[in-house]
A and B are shown apart, each in its own frame.
Chain A
């Protein structure tokens, strides 16, 4: 019997090995290598690197380019997290009510999420450029009131944020709809029986029931926001004058444009530390909120 068990365990181990091999080659090894590279003066793909201690990290924390990208990323993430959450919540309340053609509406709101971010970005470049100009011409708005959507330092980040919200809101809406369906029908019906109106039901039953889901969506939105790359790369290449250069784009530029791979990896490790601290904190915070509730 024991021999049989041992044989069985060997089979289970054999089942795990292929995935483990792939995982170690394309994730674990590059991850450990990243930690090492961030401590070296690696340049391009030159295999010769020298250990330079924490010099890269010291430089990152003093570098105005990196600090700027950190600021840009934080502002962008805050904007997208708040606005996308609000819109997704609103849409989910609408579609949870007695709307007709629910499935069609759900598909329409989700549609942008199916498109590649590259395509989404270019469509919005077109909207902010040609389409906006056509509208302005058509409505004969005087030039003084024109908005430079992507050319203005302050506006460009918001324009990018609007694009991101349009693309992702449908995704978070689906999570909220599922969350609303988890709230017992009986609870809602009982409240309605007691004379609660639509608003009261939303305010006192549906919204409190969704609080854990709001927490989770915020974690997802914040981590996605910190990793934003495609939209600024395609829409503005990080401009004007670095106003939309996110951390991910900054890492890319440092590593592949300036070829300072060691230094870029130090920035990338800092990104990793920020994201893991943030998610850890948020999950902890969320867990405590649930215990209280």
Chain B
């Protein structure tokens, strides 16, 4: 028994060392970005793999000022938060409605939402931009929020519909017998039960919107969100890698913090794919 335990432990050490080596290779690009963000332009020209003599914090100061980082960061928060919350509100209503509405129409509408998953964004891109222009949504953050809200619908509606179907009807009926209206019952009873699925879809949509480039580029046309600002900055400060890398680090920190806080939901949300398959 003793020797058996010893064997598994030492085997665990071997596999840990192997994993560590692979993790170092994986981490290398990030490490390079971080190291070079602390170097001066001359130091990078001399060697991109050497360590800096002293950390050049001034790169960060310069980037935060040049990109108007605080404003851009707040814009990204607004678009992401607004888009996700508005979408959750309408998707949970619709998902629940579709689950409870006992008409053939409900199945047809679900199918309609579902079929949208087969259509790549690039297929509707040009027509969508024309629509947004005609509705005077282009150039505005709120316009972008509305478009995201519509584009995100299909998956949350489908997931919430499935989840709502599993809520026991007796629970709702009991509440209604006690004189609670449907709308109040939805907010008091159904919505709290939907929390896990709402959290999962929310965090995945947050990651999507936060890092999305093409749609904000088309709708806003100005470097107002973080990916757009980084793209613009890269074009402006061509070859000034010390500043570019500092910009990358600053823009990646918020999303890494978000991951550390929401890790459980993110991992569960992605893993849900395996169960579905």
Cβ of B96 < 8 Å from any Cβ of A?
yes
Which residues between 102 and 145 of chain B lie within 8 Å of chain A, taking CB atoms?
Answer: 102-103, 109, 112-113, 116, 118-128, 130-131, 133, 135
Within 8 A of B (CB), among A8-57: 8-9, 11-16, 18-20, 22-23, 25-31, 33-34, 37, 45
CB-nearest residue of chain A to B260: A107
Given contacts A25-B150, A127-B29, A229-B214, contact A45 B274 (CB under 8 A): no
Q: Is A109 an interface residue (CB 8 A)?
A: yes
Interface flag for A200 (CB, 8 Å): no
Cross-chain pairs A/B with CB under 8 angstroms, 5 sampled: A45-B130, A174-B267, A178-B272, A234-B231, A248-B122
* Interface mask (B9-22 → A, CB under 8 Å = 1, otherwise 0): 00111011011101
Asked whether B97 lies within 8 Å of A15 as measured between CB atoms, the reply is yes
A264 contacts chain B at the CB level, 8 A cutoff:
yes
Return the CB mask of A223-262 against B: 1 if under 8 Å, else 0: 1001101100010000000000001100110010000010
How many CB-defined contacts (below 8 Å) exist between A and B?
A: 275
A99 contacts B by Cβ under 8 Å: yes
Contact present for A25 and B131 (CB under 8 Å): yes
B69 at the interface (CB under 8 A from A): no
* Chain A 119-155 residues near chain B, CB threshold 8 A: 119, 122-124, 126-127, 130-131, 133-135, 137-138
Given contacts A11-B182, A30-B128, A271-B120, contact A18 B90 (CB under 8 A): yes
- Contact assessment for A31 and B127 in the assembled complex, using a CB-CB cutoff below 8 Å: yes
**Which residues does chain B contribute within 8 Å of A117, judged by CB atoms?**
211, 213, 227
A94 within 8 A of B: yes
Q: How far is the CB of A230 from chain B (nearest CB, A)?
A: 5
Question: How big is the A interface, by class?
Answer: 35 or more
| Cβ A27 vs Cβ B120 within 8 A | no
Query: Are A105's CB and B128's CB within 8 A?
Result: no
Contact assessment for B101 and A213 in the assembled complex, using a CB-CB cutoff below 8 Å: no
Residue in A closest to B271 when the chains form the complex, CB atoms: A178
Instruction: Establish whether residues A115 and B252, one from each chain, have CB atoms under 8 Å apart when the complex forms.
Output: yes
CA distance A175 to B273 in the complex (A): 6
Q: Return B14 CB to nearest CB of chain A, in Å.
A: 10
Kindly specify which of B51-59, B60-68, B151-159 makes contact with the partner chain.
B151-159
Given A130-B241, A182-B275, A268-B122, A26:B128 Cβ within 8 A: yes
A118 contacts the other chain (CB 8 A): yes
Chain B CB within 8 A of A279 CB: yes
The answer, yes or no, to whether A216 is at the interface (CB within 8 Å) is: yes
Query: How many angstroms between the C-alpha atoms of A95 and B44 in the bound complex?
Result: 36
Query: A19 near B16 (CB under 8 angstroms)?
Result: no
- Give, as a whole number of angstroms, the nearest-CB distance from B203 to chain A: 11
| A122 proximity list for chain B (CB < 8 A) | 230, 234, 244, 248
Q: Known contacts being A108-B26, A133-B48, is A114 close to B274, with CB within 8 Å?
A: no
**A134 near B48 (CB under 8 angstroms)?**
yes
Contacts A11-B183, A108-B27 hold; do A134 and B47 have CB atoms under 8 A apart?
A: yes
Asked if B207 is at the interface of the complex by the 8 Å CB criterion, the answer is yes
B-contact 0/1 string along A79-119, CB 8 Å cutoff:
00000000000010011011111010111111110111111
Q: Are B150 and A18 in contact (CB under 8 A)?
A: no
A27-B153 contact, Cβ under 8 Å, with A99-B12, A115-B252, A131-B49:
yes
Residue of A nearest to B115 (CB): A276
Residues of A close to B75: CB separation below 8 A: none
A26 proximity list for chain B (CB < 8 A): 128, 131, 146-147, 149-151
Most buried by A among B93, B123, B128: B123
B167 within 8 A of A: no
Q: Which residues of A contact B12 (CB under 8 A)?
A: 97-100
Q: Which of A106, A119, A217 has the most CB of B within 10 A?
A: A119
Chain B residue numbers with a CB within 8 Å of A75 are none
Contact yes or no, A27 B124, CB < 8 A: yes
Q: A112-B30, A126-B241, A213-B274 are in contact. Are A12 and B97 (CB under 8 A)?
A: yes
Beyond the given A18-B94, A26-B146, A175-B274, could you list 7 further A-B residue pairs with CB under 8 A, ordered by the A residue number?
A9-B102, A22-B149, A23-B150, A31-B116, A106-B267, A127-B29, A174-B270
The reply to whether the CB of B2 lies closer than 8 angstroms to some CB of chain A is no
Q: Are A16 and B131 in contact (CB under 8 A)?
A: no
B77 is an interface residue with CB less than 8 A from chain A: no
Query: Which of B44, B50, B244, B277 lies in contact with A213, CB distance below 8 A?
Result: B277
- Nearest-neighbour CB distance to chain A for B75, whole angstroms, equals 14
Nearest B-chain residue to A274, judged by Cβ: B120
